[in-house]
Chains A and B, each alone.
Chain A
Amino acid sequence: AQSVAQPEDQVNVAEGNPLTVKCTYSVSGNPYLFWYVQYPNRGLQFLLKYITGDNLVKGSYGFEAEFNKSQTSFHLKKPSALVSDSALYFCAVRDNNAGNNRKLIWGLGTSLAVNP
């Protein structure tokens, strides 16, 4: 069965420090992986996705994520955190081999707090 895990409910980091938000997944076939961010009282905003090719994916607002097939992980990273990055981050996966109705499977989210 497809699943996504975000092992940390909350991540705290000081402004200017690098940040990592973790995501691991389980699918039977090849994964399509997505990261979204949700600010308070807002909808989800697309950050980046991995389809195929280069394992390091660059996205919006200086974020990047590294696909690691052997560890079945897709961690979100940013070299230098900003206070404005404080938000809820969701990882999602779609199994490319799951047939025609391939739902996005969502993690429970990680709350990122960047302290000034």
Chain B
Amino acid sequence: EAGVAQSPRYKIIEKRQSVAFWCNPISGHATLYWYQQILGQGPKLLIQFQNNGVVDDSQLPKDRFSAERLKGVDSTLKIQPAKLEDSAVYLCASSLGVLASDGADTQYFGPGTRLTVL
């Protein structure tokens, strides 16, 4: 079974530029997550989708970050404009998530995109 795919793996941009990340979840997984992981810290949830609807985006900086999951499969996360503090690894994860409230649902992660903002 193919895992979660993400691209690009690495991205270097100047501050105030825009950037987009792409994620393709495991086939059949209804729930998709975007996390931000700053060096030395645990992952921080940015947004959670159940199919193509948003379940939780409470920690997404909506003035500069946006995400969409059209057709309930692939997803893109965009930052516009980027700031220095956005330098991090952006992780995408997916889970079966038949029920958004299933606490036992296991998340499976992609390799991440390492973003450096200069």
Task: Name A3-32 residues within 8 Å CB distance of B.
Answer: 32
Tell me if B25 is interfacial: C-beta within 8 Å of chain A. no
- Residues of chain B within 8 A (CB-CB) of A99 are 101
Q: Which residues of A contact B100 (CB under 8 A)?
A: 100-101
- The interface residues of chain B, by DSSP majority, are classed as loop
In the complex, which residues of chain A have a beta carbon less than 8 angstroms from the beta carbon of B45? 103-104
Residues B109 and A45 in contact, CB atoms below 8 Å apart: yes
Instruction: Kindly state whether residue A63 has any CB partner on chain B within 8 Å.
Output: no
Chain B residue numbers with a CB within 8 Å of A49 are 104, 106
Name the A residues within 8 Å of B109 (CB-CB): 36, 43-46
- Chain B nearest CB from A113 CB (Å) reads 16
> Which residue of A is nearest B92, CB measured?
A43
Partner of B101, one of A46, A92, A102, A106: A102
Contact between B111 and A42 (Cβ–Cβ < 8 Å)?
yes
**Is B8 an interface position by the 8 A CB rule?**
no
